[in-house]
Amino acid sequence: MEPEELLAAGRDLVRQPRPATAGLWPRAAALLARQALEEGLRRFWRQRGFDLERVHNLRCQLVCFASIHDRALGNRLHQAWLALSHACHHHPYELAPTADELEGWMEAVEALLARTRTAAGR
């Protein structure tokens, strides 16, 4: 799936929770948003001709993004990635992320995807 499709599916879960997904939608939406961020970052590096596919540590890729492209967006993406990664896992005695938290993290992912669309002339 394209990162835009992953993000849209996550947003659908947040904006239209269904009885069948009760209790599951926050973590499922977080997983989809994190996958969209990771795929968007891969696209970003490919478009610029950087071979970071072998750099499996996404933190390193995010540091590179902030250092050479856009520090503010890179920091937002790093924070969103950490929060989404944490939210993907069930932790006893911790609440799942709220819809507002998820929407905020998804906005950062959307900003990255907008950069890749602009670079590709889409």
pLDDT digits (tens, 9 = 90+) for 11-62: 999 999 788 888 889 999 999 999 999 999 999 998 988 887 777 788 989 9
Q: Which of 76, 100, 98 is nearest to 87 (CA)?
A: 98
Residue 47: which domain range? 3-120
Q: Is the pLDDT of residue 122 over 60?
A: no
Q: What is the pLDDT of residues 52-61, one digit of tens each?
A: 777 778 898 9
Choice between 95 and 102, residue whose per-residue pLDDT is larger: 102
83, 101 contact by CB (below 8 A): yes
Q: Where are the alpha helices (DSSP H) in the chain?
A: 3-15, 25-47, 58-68, 71-87, 99-120
Burial (CB < 10 A; 0-12, 13-18, 19+), residue 89, is: exposed
Question: What band does 86 get if pLDDT is binned at 50, 70 and 90?
Answer: very high
pLDDT of residue 102: 97
Question: What band does 87 get if pLDDT is binned at 50, 70 and 90?
Answer: very high
Alpha-carbon distance of 65 to 43, in angstroms, equals: 12
If one counts the domains in the chain, the total is 1
